[in-house]
Copies of this chain bind each other. A is one copy, B any other.
Amino acid sequence: MKILLTNDDGIYSEGLCALYETLVLDHEVYIVAPESERSAVGHAITIEQPLRVRKVKRGKYFWGYAINGTPADCVKLALYELIGPVDLVISGINKGANVGINLLYSGTVSAATEAKILGYSSIAVSIDAYEDVDYCFAANFISTFINYAFDLPLDLPFCLNINIPHINPYKIKGIKFVRQSIAKLKEIFDKRLDLHDKIYYWQGAEEYTEKDPDTDVIALKEGYITITPIKFDLTNYSSLNKLKQIDDKILKNLVV
């Protein structure tokens, strides 16, 4: 396959490198990734600044394109200009899980979503660890999984969000197809004083309040590889159908 590889931790991130090394054994792999870390950027795009492309080498050889933009910018620029059509877009391996509400903030997931918007099948992959991360099993799993992904009962283009536990691979309980948890995060704003006695805040999330085992949050915690098919239609259809039944006459009074 012709694969576009990106991520939100930047072109020099370990997770991207580990996945590249494994994928390149079987596939034609192109790297287009942000120059530096772009985590928690959500589905941002760069429209007020020019985008620059820098060719990055490894030894004597071309390795990939570094962009001064977001993960979504990278996918757009790759598919429209730098690489052209591919068979699959993979975003990752991200350091840190992308589950629950965090999907909305995730640069990793937004790259996969952007690929689907443009008509390409895509996978976002994250590993549930921040320190001393071993990407080896996750990279091997993805390189095996993508050989089966197109045989799954999915409409094309698909967009899958995959999270991999960071535990001894022999202890992984299996693959679980689960929904995104929409339970609240317990968040904190830590109020501090700087050296000039001025207030600043650090924002962070403490923990998920989710309890349902059939969600990405809980299944991952229980030791499963979680796979969630995702979409980008934000319409709340159940509400929309109710709203459509409102009498037009009532609404007319609201306008002029």
User: Which residue numbers of A lie inside 8 Å of B, CB to CB?
Assistant: 37, 39-48, 50-53, 70, 72-73, 76-77, 80-81, 101, 103-105, 109-110, 113, 117-119, 137, 141, 144-145, 148, 152-155, 158-159, 161, 169-170, 172, 174-175, 177-180, 182, 184, 187, 189, 191-192, 194, 198-204, 225, 227-240, 242-246, 248, 251-252, 254-256
Contacts and interface: CB of A to CB of B under 8 A. Distances in A.
Nearest to A199: B53
Contact of A243 (B153, B194, B233): B153
A104 B43 contact: yes
Given A42-B72, A141-B255, A254-B144, A51 B200 contact: yes
15 contacts: A41-B41, A42-B45, A50-B192, A51-B200, A52-B198, A53-B201, A101-B117, A172-B255, A179-B235, A225-B255, A227-B243, A228-B234, A229-B239, A230-B236, A231-B234
The prevalent SS among residues of A at the interface is mixed
Nearest to A225: B255
Contacts of A194: 50
B174 A252 contact: yes
Given A191-B81, A251-B174, A180 B233 contact: yes
B47 A40 contact: yes
B225 A229 contact: no
B80 A189 contact: yes
A198 B104 CA distance: 35
Contacts of A43: 42-43, 104-105
A119 B137 CA distance: 38
Contact of A245 (B53, B153, B232): B153
Given A53-B199, A179-B240, A256 B42 contact: no
Contacts of A233: 179-180, 182
Nearest to A152: B243
